[in-house]
Structure 1
Amino acid sequence: MGVCSTCPHAHPALKAFMCGSLSGTCSTLLFQPLDLLKTRLQTLQTGVASRVGMVTVFLNVVRTEKLLGLWKGISPSFVRTIPGVGIYFSTYFTLKQHFVQEKSPGAMEAMLLGGGARTVAGVIMLPVTVIKTRFECGRYSYGSVAGALQSVCRTEGPGALFSGLWATLLRDVPFSGIYVMFYSQTRAALPTEIGMSVSAPLANFSCGVLAGVLASLITQPADVVKTHVQVNPQLRTLQAITYIYMEHGLQGFFRGAVPRLLRRTMMAAMAWTVYEQMMTRVGLKS
């Protein structure tokens, strides 16, 4: 029995939150290593970055930090993703019910729904996102998420927990908007018999993969800027852009593109597939 099905009288938005949180838990646990590799690639020193690829970083992490080192940062990832994805999907569901209601959203409506939901979730969860990025980069030795939050507030001030806000929104809001637009439109184009068959989860997942690839490529430069700002809080967004260009050139804005594309694509596809199936099981139209 699913988590959501144990609460038949819960508010629909709460059901959406619970379904989203469950989908976020599954996808985070599976794809955390890709996020760590992406962060390490983006924060390599000048000179090293030009000759090191994802496989090299992977082998170095396993050699120096053991296999479990690939899941470094999983604690802040869970703290961020479990409520964060829940907030995202419940906000998406609420906005859709209020503005679109029962009809399928058009391309622009889907983009606005996805972007609006991500804005709410991104701002609320940004402090944990900052801590997660620092855990993954390997430059900080925090013992726990709570300890990291206290340390940042004490040594850098609470404002540091919101470093990279604009870069994060410039990355996540377009990603979510573009993703939901492509996902909803490709899913709506599927023949009705596929959507009603046992192969529906696979079809939804395939739509999610296509949407994830396109959204990831378009928003990759903003992700690199966001990482630099959160690892080096003294940098502002424009300074980070200038630094990346001067040190690495245009290709610097696509460091870590492969692991991020794999992770974001697979994670988003899985999250939406699980969410769709859970919402169907509790009798709600997602």
Structure 2
Amino acid sequence: MVPHQSNLGLNGITPIQQMIASCSGALLTSLLVTPFDVIKIRLQAQRTPFHKGKCFLYCNGLMDHLCVCENGNNVAWYKAPGQFRGTLDAFVQIVRYEGIKSLWSGLPPTLIMAVPATVIYFTCYDQLRAFLKYQLEYDGIYIPLIAGASARVGAVTVISPLELIRTKSQSRKLTYNELGSVVRIAVAQDGWRSLWRGWGPTVMRDVPFSAIYWFNYELMKSQLCKKYNVSEPTFKISFSSGATSGAIAAVLTLPFDVVKTRRQIELGELSASHSRKTLTATLKIMKRIVQESGFGGLFVGLLPRLMKVAPACAIMISSYEYGKSFFRKINRERELKKG
């Protein structure tokens, strides 16, 4: 009885219920914010033309994904319309030349990645936060920062091999047996570490974002709850806190996002050409961007990133909080019936 009481007494819900609550937010976020991320990535990457065999990146609002696109093919969903002058121009040109569907390019396979990534991330965060606060009896203001960073490292580490496998399957049509052979060959050539290729730059961008986001979110949420004299955050409180903290984290970590885009493009080029050349170091990419475009080059795509991240964070966290409140209510009613 002690573990059960602790489980419901600390978080109010079980880990399984946390997982279910996070799924709805992941699906809703993916559908609504993917177009903004497609535009952001296209603006960041337009300095590197997409020739045949090069890659295109898109996101579900939570994590970036990469696929190799055979441009020049009449049936290819991506056809580069030229240079974009800004966010609105990119939106207009993509819709005009590629069709509105291109704003949701790759969404089905992205959803397959979004759900497990979100489940791991949000569940780990809540469990770590409860563990630090109640089991270790640490009540410092840095709990969200520590829990958020740790949860992101765990999510990225678990998802990276799945991401690599999915990327391979998108580069060309493969059966499950062929896909298994590709993975075995990659492991045989480069070892098991090859399944976590790109883990470093992903962590460099996502972990600081996660730490900054959760720290500001929990701080804003607690202050607003006190202001409105409520014990649990309302949808409005969660939405506004999520949007604001997401925007702050997005601005502060944008240079890492730009670097990661460059590195993933480079990774796609190497994969398409079957080259064993090593990827360029993060610091070198930053220096190259500053030399080419000045310091402002590290903040390319700021507007579409904010347009994506702020609503994505708001929708995700408010849906998650609503789901948790729903399950807490059910659990309380069950406890009352048992009593």
Range into which the TM-score falls when normalised by the shorter chain? 0.7 to 0.9
- What is the deviation of 1:13? 1.5
Contact between 1:16 and 1:90, CA under 8 Å: does it hold in 2?
A: yes
Paired position in structure 1 for 2:285: 240
User: What whole-Å deviation, never above 9, does each CA across 1:107-136 have from its counterpart, x for those lacking one?
Assistant: 31111111111111122223455688999x
Deviation string 1:3-23 (CA, Å, 9 cap, x unpaired) is xxxxx9xx8112212211221
Query: What is the CA deviation profile of residues 170-226 of structure 1, one whole-angstrom value per residue up to 9, with x for unaligned ones?
Result: 111111111111110111012447364999101211111111111110000001111
Counterpart for residue 101 of structure 1: 134
Aligned to 1:225: 259
Over 3 Å counting, the alpha-carbon distance change for 1:165 and 1:34 in structure 2 is: same
Which moves more between the two structures, 276-285 or 107-116?
A: 276-285
Amino acid at match of 1:115: A
* TM-score for the superposition, normalised by structure 1: 0.80
Q: Does 1:56 align with 2:89?
A: yes
Contact 1:37–1:54 (8 Å) recurs in 2:
yes
The 5-angstrom pairing of residues 81-100 of structure 1 reads 81-100=114-133
Taking the aligned partners of 1:205 and 1:85, their CA distance within structure 2 comes to 18
Asked if 2 retains the 8 angstrom alpha-carbon contact of 1:175 and 1:216, the reply is yes
Gaps of 5+ in 2: 1-7, 50-80, 268-278, 332-339
**Contact between 1:152 and 1:160, CA under 8 Å: does it hold in 2?**
no
The answer to whether the 8 A contact 2:25-2:320 is kept is yes
Rounded to whole Å, the distance in 1 between the matches of 2:314 and 2:210 is 12
Distance 2:220 2:131 in 1: 23
Instruction: Give aligned-pair identity as a percent.
Output: 28
Contact 1:20–1:88 (Cα < 8 Å) also in 2: no
Question: Cα–Cα, structure 1 residues 71 and 210, in superposed 2: closer, same or farther, change >3 Å?
Answer: same
CA distance in 1, matches of 2:224, 2:27: 28
Match of 1:66 among 99, 106, 111: 99
Q: Residues 75, 270 of structure 1: CA spacing in aligned structure 2 closer, same or farther, 3 A cutoff?
A: same
CA RMSD of aligned residues (A): 3.6
Change (3 A) 1:151 1:283: same
Match of 2:58 in 1: none
Aligned counterpart in structure 2 of residue 190 of structure 1, from 188, 210, 224: 224
User: Does the Cα contact within 8 Å between 1:61 and 1:69 map onto a contact in 2?
Assistant: yes
Partner of 1:23: 25
Aligned partners of 1:231, 1:148: CA distance in 2, in Å? 24
**Deviation at residue 104 of structure 1 after TM alignment:** 10
Question: Separation in 2 of the partners of 1:26 and 1:250?
Answer: 35
Give the superposition deviation at 1:142. 4.7
Q: In the TM superposition, what whole-angstrom CA distance separates every residue of 1:246-275 from its partner, at most 9, and x where no partner exists?
A: 322222211111111121121111111111
Q: How far does residue 149 in structure 1 lie from its aligned partner after superposition?
A: 7.0
Count of residues in Structure 1 that have an aligned counterpart in Structure 2: 272
Counterpart of 1:35 in structure 2: which amino acid?
Answer: D
Tell me the amino acid that sits aligned with residue 28 of structure 2.
C
Contact 1:76 1:128 survives alignment (8 Å): no
Query: TM (normalized to structure 2)?
Result: 0.69
More helix by share: 1
Paired residues for 1:1-286 under 5 Å: 12-45=14-47, 52-101=85-134, 106-127=140-161, 142=172, 153=183, 162-192=196-226, 194=228, 196=230, 200-233=234-267, 234-283=279-328
Q: 1:23 to 1:191 in 2, by over 3 A?
A: closer
Q: Which has the larger radius of gyration?
A: 2
Q: Could you tell me how far apart the structure 2 residues matched to 1:182 and 1:62 are?
A: 36
| In structure 2, C-alpha distance between the alignment counterparts of 1:251 and 1:49, rounded to whole Å | 22
Structure-2 change in CA distance of 1:177 and 1:199 (3 Å) = closer
- Structure 1 unpaired stretches of 5+: 1-7
Q: What SS class does the counterpart of residue 52 from structure 1 fall into? A: coil
